[in-house]
Structure 1
Amino acid sequence: MIRAWAAKEQGGALERYDYDPGPLPADEVEIAVETCGLCHSDVSLIDNEWFVSQYPLVPGHEVIGRVSEVGAHVTHLKIGDRVGVGWYAHSCLTCHTCMSGDHNMCSDAKGVAAAHQGRFGGFADKVRSQAAWAVKLPEGVDAAKAGPLFCGGITVFNPIVQNNIKPTDKVGVIGIGGLGHMAVKFLRAWGCEVTAFTSTEAKAEEARAMGAHRIVNSRDEAALKAERGRYDMVLSTVNVPLKWSRYIAALAPRGKLHMVGAVMDPMPVAAGMLMDNQRSVTGSSVGAPATIATMLDFCARHDITPQTEHLPMSKINEAIARLKKGDVRYRFVLEADFD
């Protein structure tokens, strides 16, 4: 029996919920949860913002824990290994996309907290994942803080890899929050010139402390216009619509406006702005297991950790209420306290 916290209706408070997961599939591992980060995507699932949620729903997709059981076909993990699991818990592993190393784009990919796909997430004492998606933590990564790396972290690290960002590139980050603060840290360590776009003065100072070379007030039209033609990539981590034309105009030749924030409104983009200087608008979400492992090694080498606040998992509803108000710097990590 797995003990968990579940939403039993759309937008409902999380309640204690126990369920029987059945026999462990041969290609999966069961993980004794130590911590699980709280992401805004958990709130989106609870509130059914993406129109896919089914209830009861156990959220949580930034899991750190130790392998407590291994399936019959699992050979690379053993009981006691400390691993992390992020947004996905399954892909087919055999299609052309998976075999090309893009497991996160597999048409059969299943989320770790996707009740509509028959899976329950990490706000629990145990969680299950296909072994390929359970990535071992290397030495030098702080396990207590590592949970948010498995969603927020890989979400902003993957664009650096996919867009072939060079250490000499100039990159802007829109939004210094749960995603953006990690993007600033990664890009500074990567060697880039990093500009933070934010309208909050307190966050501006924090962004500088995290490694931003420059700050631009995102509500200052004159300041935005002055950035014209500067950036090899602008990474948007926000989930609200902005004047995207300002950021497209800020791109250098062949520059990219890369979206990782789930903005639900359509983006008005004039074709001429893209044709001029071969600019583009791109997007991505999370990353493949191999890219997650690379990110963890990069974090260990450069001593990169998310900025976290820790609460017992039994205070999950308090954490969600504070997240909705933006009252966290910058990610909550919930510590399993079922015993």
Structure 2
Amino acid sequence: MALINAWAAHTAGAKFEPFKYEPTPLGPEEVDIQVEHCGICHSDLSMLNNEWGITSYPFVPGHEAIGRVVAMGEIAKTKGLKIGQRVGVGWCNSACLHCDNCLRGEYAMCTNAGKATIVGNHGAFAQQVRSHWVWAVPIPEGLDAAAAGPLLCGGITVFAPLLDGNILPTHKVGVFGIGGLGHMALKFLKAWGCEVTAFTSTSDKFEEARSFGATHTALSTDSAELKKLAGSLDFIVVTANVKLDWDSIISLLKHGGRLHVVGAVLEPIPVHAMALIMGKKSVSGSPAGNRTQTDQMLRFAAQHKIAPQVEYFPMSKVNEAMEHLKSGKARYRIVLNADFA
């Protein structure tokens, strides 16, 4: 069996080096995908540094992959996929299809065989990546394949809450953190028809936030400005992974409003019960969405010509690309183009 070329880190925080591995035999429900493009997500950096304590080494990141199907197991062959078809793979790459969550269509929450693409597996900073057929998602015509990778993690992470939260075009929505996730949230919400306020820690992003779809902009660090906006929003999505003024943010919600967290904030979020009780407010969170939501998101993006703002690097420059992300210079997502010989 031919060896797969990849880029791997051998210890926490280490530089990526060329790495070869022998793939295991292809399972009956699995699909092998020749990688064309792969986005870099902040989760790749967190996993590289083992911030969540679940990384195994050598570590091959990459869970925003776009590529062509090159091999399928016997069961996967019956599921409508074709050799040569362009598909994408996000954070999830496996499901048992028979636990309670899978039977509800929540494959991302599978309690048996659910796996993340880069947890205990080699990801898509490689020639090939392997996935369960459920998570080999066909890429619709009309989407730029080179830029589509970040939709499969960051994009669905901010799109699924709009479906789960029954967000309407008449709702007023706030987005905290205008980065890799937040800028896509603005684009989706504009197409959704919502009045959107972008909250960012620097006024330097105001103009770009408006170009992405923000109706209004505000400084997330200005307590006086937040106080003026108290009680004005139906829904708030927090994409940042840093400590924020949570009391002020919750005060922005209208009666019955919801604060939804998708940024991996590592510190506990303090919540005063009476602020929730008296305002009938709620706090929630979610990971990436399910397969049906992913298909809906990709169709929505194709229909409304939505794509992340992307900077490109050849995969051979992966260390430069990761440093660009780490330094906070990415505007706003990074995609690696496969350039293996």
- TM bracket (short chain): over 0.9
* Residues 1:88 and 2:63 are matched in the alignment: no
- Take 1:101 and 1:26, find their aligned partners in 2: how far apart are those partners? 21
Letter in 1 for 2:146: A
1:210 corresponding residue in structure 2: 212
Letter in 2 for 1:203: K
Letter in 1 for 2:90: G
Count the aligned residue pairs.
336
* Residues 1:100 and 2:107 are matched in the alignment: no
The one of 14, 17, 42 equivalent to 2:19 is: 17
Written as runs of structure 1 = structure 2, the 5 A alignment for 1:167-178 is 167-178=169-180
* Residues 1:112 and 2:114 are matched in the alignment: no
Written as runs of structure 1 = structure 2, the 5 A alignment for 1:1-339 is 1-74=3-76, 75=78, 76-108=80-112, 109-115=114-120, 119-339=121-341
State the SS of the aligned residue for 1:145: helix
How much has 1:29 moved relative to structure 2?
A: 0.5
- Take 1:66 and 1:39, find their aligned partners in 2: how far apart are those partners? 21
State the SS of the aligned residue for 1:253: strand
TM-score computed with the length of structure 1 as normaliser: 0.98
- Take 2:229 and 2:129, find their aligned partners in 1: how far apart are those partners? 46
How much has 1:104 moved relative to structure 2?
A: 1.0
- Take 1:314 and 1:86, find their aligned partners in 2: how far apart are those partners? 21
How much has 1:179 moved relative to structure 2?
A: 0.2
Q: What RMSD over aligned residues (CA atoms) do the two structures have, in Å?
A: 0.7
State the SS of the aligned residue for 1:54: coil
Deviations 1:300-325 (A, max 9, x none): 11000000000100111111111111
Unaligned runs of 5+ in 2: none
How much has 1:216 moved relative to structure 2?
A: 0.9
Letter in 1 for 2:118: A
- Take 1:110 and 1:179, find their aligned partners in 2: how far apart are those partners? 22
- Take 1:58 and 1:199, find their aligned partners in 2: how far apart are those partners? 32
How much has 1:199 moved relative to structure 2?
A: 2.3
- Take 1:254 and 1:3, find their aligned partners in 2: how far apart are those partners? 52
- Take 1:22 and 1:96, find their aligned partners in 2: how far apart are those partners? 29
Unaligned runs of 5+ in 1: none
- Take 2:81 and 2:72, find their aligned partners in 1: how far apart are those partners? 7
Deviations 1:177-230 (A, max 9, x none): 000000000001001111000122221100101110000111111110111111
Q: Which runs of 4+ in 1 moved over 6 A?
A: none
- Take 2:43 and 2:201, find their aligned partners in 1: how far apart are those partners? 23
State the SS of the aligned residue for 2:146: coil
Letter in 2 for 1:218: S
How much has 1:50 moved relative to structure 2?
A: 0.1
TM-score computed with the length of structure 2 as normaliser: 0.97
How much has 1:232 moved relative to structure 2?
A: 1.0
- Take 1:331 and 1:160, find their aligned partners in 2: how far apart are those partners? 21
Letter in 2 for 1:164: N
